[in-house]
Amino acid sequence: MASADCRRIVIVGGAIMGSFCAWSLRRAGFAGPITVLEKDSTYRYSSTALSAASIRTQFGTPVNIRMSLFAADMFRDLRAVFGPDADISYREKGYLFLGATGEEATRIAAATMQRAEGADIEVLEPAELRARFPGFDFDGVPIGTFGARDEGWFDAWSLLSLVRQGAHRAGVAYVDAAAERFETRGDRITGVGLSTGERVPCDVCVVAAGAMSGRLVEPLGIGLPVVPKKRTVFAFRTPFTLDNFPMVFDTSGIWVRPEGDGYIGGMQPPPDRDPDADGDFEPQHELMDTYWPLLARRIPAMQALRVRRAWAGHYEVNTLDHNGVVGPHDRLDNLIFATGFSGHGVQHAPAVGQAVAELITTGAYRSIDLTPLGWARIRDGRPLVESIVY
């Protein structure tokens, strides 16, 4: 794979993942031309802008935990990285995962693995849950796990703005156009054709196109199992307040967390109402009919609820195993993937950007070994399953 001798880098996708790749390349000392292609410079429908923007270390895959810890360290020291005015409203309030009866051993084993990877995870019994989170109804909940550090939420738009501005200042060129085709010669990508009719030549091409990455590389004969899935978020107000309210993932599959003077939350639609969502950003308002009773069951005071608005964004779902795909393709070895993170791309973008920059500039991963997320498992149909998915 081209490394020190590469001259021109094209990154397809200019939201959080692509921008972190570009910025990190400059931080790693890469001085050649970097062009970032973004089909919508307003980011109106970007998964980054529409994200619930949370960070957690409670994953089932060790490499995901390591990437979250990398990002959390950056978020806490943000001003040292991006300057004295940098602020993404990072709130380290933790995640509370509630386990159902029969899941106790699985939850304890997951917490043990997460702690071994450096995460600060507490295992809470029912009495501890009730004492720490008054106002919740924990009947039928035998166990909960809570991230005491490195978990919470932040403003994704502010983070994107910081890294994009940093890339601009470092001489990265952003082009407001869609990538429509890849040009190849032998086993190399030689250029990217744009919606404007122009062509951008490249020596290395990074695919960071989020939910549309699978569609984009399909004409190359590449079966990248990344598709767009619509996820609806509801913003609402209730009279219930709790100073230490965390991000909550309930046994029922719903989630909720504070946002401003209210809350946001949501749930996955049932499989028969979850088609690929090409171009569809209409919120699934009918999900509130299911969501609200489940929420009120867990927090009775939230029976009094007023929905303020709803929006929908696209998850870039890797249908093989719900994990990201990072690193070079085997046949087109100057084509690098940075996509498929299935809902956790915003929090993992800092680590992926660093990894891609190291791969291009040194030929190897240095900070975090992302080899487990490589193309080989996709090619061979060997899933690395992320078991904690919402």
Q: Give the confidence band of 182 by pLDDT, cuts at 50, 70, 90.
A: very high
The answer to whether residue 4 is domain-embedded is no
Q: How far is CA 373 from CA 189, 194, 346, in A?
A: 22, 29, 16
Q: Report the pLDDT averaged over residues 86-98.
A: 98
pLDDT in tens, 25-70: 999 999 999 999 999 999 999 999 999 999 999 999 999 999 999 9
Tell whether 169 and 263 lie within a shared domain. Answer: no
The answer to whether residue 389 is domain-embedded is no
Q: How many domains does the chain have?
A: 2
With a CB cutoff of 8 Å and minimum separation 6, the contacts of 343 are 231, 315, 317, 322, 389, 390
With a CB cutoff of 8 Å and minimum separation 6, the contacts of 124 are 132, 143, 144, 145, 146
User: Global pTM?
Assistant: 0.96
Q: Report the pLDDT averaged over residues 218-244.
A: 97
Q: Answer with the one of 287, 313, 339 that is the final residue of a domain.
A: 313
Phi, psi of 132 (to 5 degrees): -80, -30
The answer to whether residue 180 is domain-embedded is yes
Q: What is the pLDDT, as a whole number, of residue 3?
A: 42
Q: What is the pLDDT, as a whole number, of residue 2?
A: 41
What are the residue ranges of helices labelled H in the chain?
16-27, 62-76, 78-82, 104-116, 126-132, 156-169, 213-217, 288-298, 345-362, 375-380
Tell whether 147 and 236 lie within a shared domain. Answer: yes
CB 325 within 8 A of CB 210: no
Q: Report the pLDDT averaged over residues 246-275.
A: 97
CB 147 within 8 A of CB 248: no
With a CB cutoff of 8 Å and minimum separation 6, the contacts of 4 are 361, 363
CB 172 within 8 A of CB 36: yes
Using DSSP's 3-state secondary structure scheme, residue 294 falls into helix
Distance CA 260, CA 258 (A): 7
Q: Report the pLDDT averaged over residues 261-281.
A: 96
Q: Give the confidence band of 5 by pLDDT, cuts at 50, 70, 90.
A: very low
Q: Give the confidence band of 281 by pLDDT, cuts at 50, 70, 90.
A: very high
Q: Answer with the one of 295, 313, 331 that is the final residue of a domain.
A: 313
Distance CA 9, CA 183 (A): 14
What value does the mean pLDDT of the chain take?
96
Tell me the CATH number at 38.
3.50.50.60
Angle at 334 between CA 181 and CA 167, to 5 degrees: 80
Using DSSP's 3-state secondary structure scheme, residue 254 falls into coil
The answer to whether residue 17 is domain-embedded is yes
Q: Report the pLDDT averaged over residues 143-151.
A: 98
Domain containing 268 equals 91-154+232-313
Q: Give the confidence band of 390 by pLDDT, cuts at 50, 70, 90.
A: confident
pLDDT score of 168 more than 80: yes
CB 135 within 8 A of CB 301: yes
Tell whether 174 and 45 lie within a shared domain. Answer: yes
Distance CA 351, CA 57 (A): 13
Tell whether 142 and 236 lie within a shared domain. Answer: yes
Q: What is the pLDDT, as a whole number, of residue 6?
A: 53
With a CB cutoff of 8 Å and minimum separation 6, the contacts of 150 are 55, 57, 68, 69, 72, 92, 119, 120
Percent of the chain with pLDDT over 90: 97
Q: What is the pLDDT, as a whole number, of residue 347?
A: 98
Percent of the chain with pLDDT over 70: 98
Place of tokens 């070895």: 333
Distance CA 98, CA 253 (A): 10
Tell whether 249 and 150 lie within a shared domain. Answer: yes
